[in-house]
Chains A and B, each alone.
Chain A
Amino acid sequence: MTRYLAGRVVAGLVSLFLFVTAIFFAARWLIPRRREPGDLSATDEYFELLDGLVSGDFLNSEAMASLPWTLLILTFALGIAFPLGHWLGKVAGWKSGSAGSAGLTIGAVVMYTIFPPLLVFVLIMVVSRFTNDQGIGFLRTLYNEGGLSPDTGWSMLRTIAVVAAAAGLVALAASRLDKAIPHPVWIVGLVGIPFLIWMRRGMWGEVSDILLYLAMPITAVSILVVGEVLLVSKSTTAEAAHEDFVFTARAKGVPDREVRDHHVARYAFLPMLSKLMVSIPFILVGLMIVEMAFAWPKFGVEGGGNLGTLGMTVPGMSSTLFTSLENRDAATVVEGLIAVGVVVLTFRLILEVIQAFLDPRIRVGSREP
């Protein structure tokens, strides 16, 4: 198990190195700029970048300052969409072929393939019904009053990470002791404990401002992700429903619902996890497109320089990335892309750890490569 995980970390680092190298030279080639006498040569700049990555100076870069917002949206959206999509997919896959299942599938395909700016437009239209057709500009006052500080964002992420890790340990202990913790307890614990911590630390005002401000992007990304998780969960559940152990369980007289939840859903969870591992980067792209669509880039009042009352700025990764792209600032573009790569790699490793804990074939090391 330790060896497997160490191998995955090393493979990830090798990929990251290749990725950084390719990105650096591609960006220099794609974003040409005038050379000035004091400039470093390409190789010197490259080694400086690697040095910054190894020594941790990278953490102080501009790209990292915009990271908490993107990560918060991603974490909350995955936290909402993953359980919801898994549950809906389980229901749809179990009754595969029924009208309800077909309806859920169509809905999921729509949610998964909708053009993100269109989804954002529809969401803004819906919210606008309650704001007298004035869009969601009112949210910007939160932003302008300085309610969003990156430090608070990082602190929220740390709390979530600690609570999630603790939940993982509790789950592990529970499975060793052969005790099942009911789902409602999980949900209340995972949602309630972070909020309790934030309240006790006196962060509630800032946290609620941030959550209100990010609520729309989180909703949009959740909708995109729910569709995908639902489709994957549905197909793995429908396939698992034909396995022999399902017939055995039924023959023993296990209630239908229990067969679905305890036999099929658990079995179908692993292939779902490995399929979703590949789609994390694509979820991140969808998220960045949503971020940009909310700002309605370039569509402000001409010359006025503001965004009008249509949208709002999401100060996430995409704004850093595309602002630097417009300014032909190759160094920041590279930093932003590396940040994307690191996020993808981190999520992949987290999923791999979960997979290794859940799948005994990985734990004993006999899994196919």
Chain B
Amino acid sequence: MSIEVTAAQSGVRAHRKARAAAWGRFRASVPGMTGVVVLLMFALMALAYPLLMNTVWDANVYDPETGIDMVVVEKRYVREVVDPETEVGRVEAFVSDMYAQPGDVVTVRTPAGIGVAHPLSTDASGRDVLAMLLAGAGPALAMALTAALTTAFVALAVAAVSAYYGGWIDATLSSISGAVLLLPAPLLMIILGTSPAGEHIGPAQFGFIYGLLAGAGAAAIVVRSQAVTTMRRPFIDTARSSGAGSTRIIVRHLVPHLIPLAAVAMLIGVTGAIVADAFVSFLAYGENRFSWGTMINTAIRGRPNLRTLIHTEWHVLIVGGVAISLLAASFYLVAIGLHAAFDTPRFKR
């Protein structure tokens, strides 16, 4: 009896030690920690938005879709606008004064622009860009986290069942994975998001459906091959001969060995979810909700040529685009860190 207890205790101790070592290696990995810091920053942004809206920010000014902050300034009406800071063209001049002649000074309403109230400036219709950035963080994070967890869960379940039972169950699940892999999950999500049904899909549902597809496809294939190798290892036979049932072996012995790989696969898969989600709103199909993709859309929409875009809203496009890319990058960086923590050549041998 006492021998058994000490064996179990030393097993637990070894597990704890291995976990502490893995955490140490993760902390030593610069990409991994950078990813964590960036993710925390996005989480802070998501939390800050409702706080600011309820306390300091006036909804009439700071709402990312309907808020407006315009100032009245005097500008000179000229035929050819050379300096948009002090001169206006025909269209804007006529809004203020129908009888204005070239050379007249007219009063026009222009966006408030960069300042203490708007650290990231405003867009062409006077909406605050920082408010847009913060408003997009919540939905994007909710989508990414749902997608990540669903991907990992589905991939683990499919891979473990496939590897444990083998035979026709494995063959069936493998062909399903192969079929799912023929249709890339991000593409299907783009099609789903742009279809009539897409209007009713919120961020969390989007992440969930993406997770089902990505988990059953690419992630399941990667995790399954690891599960098959794990099933050949002696401790599975030991567990079986000491009378453990199928559920116990899968949950207690097989799955723990797959979690690191599933985590890496899921974090890499989330990158695709973020791009797909942003692209749907970039195409302006999910117009009922605000996101970073919407920022890029509003920046480009209706610009007849590049010059007007550069002079008006390029910063909205850059802020939205960089936020999307940075969120995707942070998940990928965390995946590199996890890879370094669990999959070092020194510990594999």
Contacts and interface: CB of A to CB of B under 8 A. Distances in A.
A368 B228 contact: yes
B177 to A, nearest CB: 8
Contacts of A117: 279, 282, 296, 321
A333 interface: yes
Contact of B300 (A231, A279, A289, A299): A299
B332 A309 contact: no
Contact of A118 (B180, B181, B283, B325): B325
Contact of B183 (A23, A239, A309): A23
B179 A18 contact: yes
Interface residues of A, number: 65
B324 interface: yes
A116 B275 contact: yes
A121 B306 CA distance: 10
B303 A310 contact: yes
B186 A282 contact: yes
B322 A309 contact: no
Interface of A is mostly: helix
B57 to A, nearest CB: 27
A30 B78 CA distance: 53
A281 B182 contact: yes
Interface string A233-261: 00100010011000000000000000000
A113 B321 contact: no
Given A133-B306, A239-B345, A109 B178 contact: no
Contact of A301 (B183, B283, B304): B304
A284 B301 CA distance: 26
A178 B179 CA distance: 40
A110 B336 CA distance: 14
Interface in B8-51: 30-31
Contacts of B322: 118
A325 B194 contact: yes
Given A14-B175, A113-B329, A30 B192 contact: yes
B178 A285 contact: no
Interface in A330-369: 333, 337, 340-341, 344-345, 368-369
A282 B272 CA distance: 8
Interface in A276-318: 278-279, 281-282, 284-286, 288-289, 292, 296-299, 301-302, 308-310
B238 interface: no
Given A31-B196, A102-B30, A302 B302 contact: yes
Interface in A106-136: 109-110, 112-118, 121, 124-125, 128, 133-135
A115 B221 contact: no
A199 B70 CA distance: 60
Residue among A16, A32, A282 with the most chain B CB within 10 A? A282
15 contacts: A11-B175, A11-B178, A18-B178, A109-B329, A117-B279, A124-B306, A125-B306, A135-B306, A242-B346, A278-B218, A281-B182, A281-B184, A325-B191, A325-B194, A340-B183
Given A18-B176, A231-B336, 10 more contacts: A19-B179, A113-B325, A118-B296, A281-B181, A281-B184, A286-B275, A292-B283, A301-B302, A321-B191, A340-B183
The 9 closest A-B pairs by CB, nearest first: A118-B321, A15-B178, A281-B184, A18-B179, A341-B182, A242-B345, A113-B328, A113-B329, A19-B179
Interface of A: 11-12, 14-16, 18-19, 22-23, 30-32, 102, 105, 109-110, 112-118, 121, 124-125, 128, 133-135, 231, 235, 239, 242-243, 278-279, 281-282, 284-286, 288-289, 292, 296-299, 301-302, 308-310, 321-322, 325, 333, 337, 340-341, 344-345, 368-369
